[in-house]
A = this chain, B = another copy of it.
Amino acid sequence: MTGRLDEESYARAALTYLAEPGDLQLGALVRGHGAAPMLAAIKAGTVPDFLDSGAARAAARRAMRCWQVRLTELPSADDIAGLCRAGIRLACPGDPEWPARLDDLGAAMPYALWLRGSADLRFSCVRSVAIVGARAATAYGSYVASEFAASVAERGWTVVSGGAYGVDAAAHRGALAADGVTVAVLACGVDVPYPAGHADLLDAIAAQGVVVSEWPPGRNATRLRFLVRNRTIAALAAGTVVVEAASRSGALNSARHARDLGRPLMAVPGPITSELSAGCHTVIREWQGMLVTSAADVIEYLSPLGSAAGDPSASPSASPAAGPGTGPGTDAGALLGRDALDLEAAAVLDALPSRGGMGSLKIASRAGLDPDTVLRCLGALAAVGFAERCDQGWRLRRS
């Protein structure tokens, strides 16, 4: 979403300014009735008409007072369009770039996501793994995070993490070093360089991947926001790997969200003499997390049965015939094999150059298909690792 916002998208953007994400009451109301009526009610200072039970109206009346506090900070639709011109974009549920996995959060789903970076968030997250862990990582934890991230990135997997010091930074850097895509999910605005020492890292992530936040540009991180943010890390990724974590730590909070979402949860063991391995051992022993000792373990655990991970010729494939709006499947387990590519997608695949790159219009011309169909097929092919964007457009993905 980079052009003019429609009413519902503007309302969702506005809610990121007015309310904290993870507010289950507001989340449920927005899911049930849309963001625009909620924004109108907050602006009007009235309880929405669609609430008819006395209890619901009373609860809403109390909550409205919180949501109204920040009305003075609310930007106009033009302000938001200005942000978008400055390299920041908005993704709302239903937008092509909205990762369908987030729907699993239910009422805790973000109202909208603010994005900064070159990668398409939805496509990036199809084959993605969250690598999380301690800020005060040991050399062992940093090494493992970096190695795992580089290895999964080399096989076409996106590394999702939180942009923090320690394990997060090592994971992002490992993915970047392998020319992979990495997603940083922040607890502050995507334009806020936090931590300050990571300003360059966040810019590098934006250049090669995408920086994501549920909070609007300019908003600062708080302790609570880190915890709220963690559910989004877990929800965006197909699975979560804990590299190093103390017994009661923020990294375990992400792991708990992954578990509660029913997502594959993994942990890397370490010396029992290290307090920073205690949380990993808890994940393995008490939370039935999978013990992983290599990136291959991670990919194997996240891949559908029988598919050779990282090998596109054997990897699962979305059906590019999926209609607009649904786009490529986001659950790897539900994806189909390459043989199941429809004729249009197969034609696009054949038209893709293996070196250099090609614009979508030229691909359309080679494939003999209309540009819209080609764009849809390219998205699906990228999502399952057959195609990738490059400076010159699109190309076959290196296997």
Contacts and interface: CB of A to CB of B under 8 A. Distances in A.
A185 B198 CA distance: 57
Tell me what chain A mostly uses at the interface: helix, strand, loop, or mixed.
Answer: mixed
A139 to B, nearest CB: 10
A285 B301 CA distance: 12
A285 B291 contact: yes
Interface stretch (A60-68, A165-173, A269-277, A312-320): A269-277
A293 B271 CA distance: 9
Nearest to A138: B271
B269 A140 contact: no
A143 interface: yes
A269 B281 contact: yes
Contact of A293 (B278, B293, B294): B278
Interface in A77-98: none
A293 B272 contact: yes
A394 to B, nearest CB: 37
Interface in A277-321: 277-278, 281, 284-285, 290-291, 293-294
A291 B269 contact: yes
Given A281-B291, A281-B293, A271 B271 contact: yes
Interface string A136-154: 0000100110000000000
A380 interface: no
A235 interface: no
Contacts of A281: 269, 291, 293
A285 B144 CA distance: 19
5 contacts: A144-B272, A272-B294, A278-B293, A281-B291, A284-B291
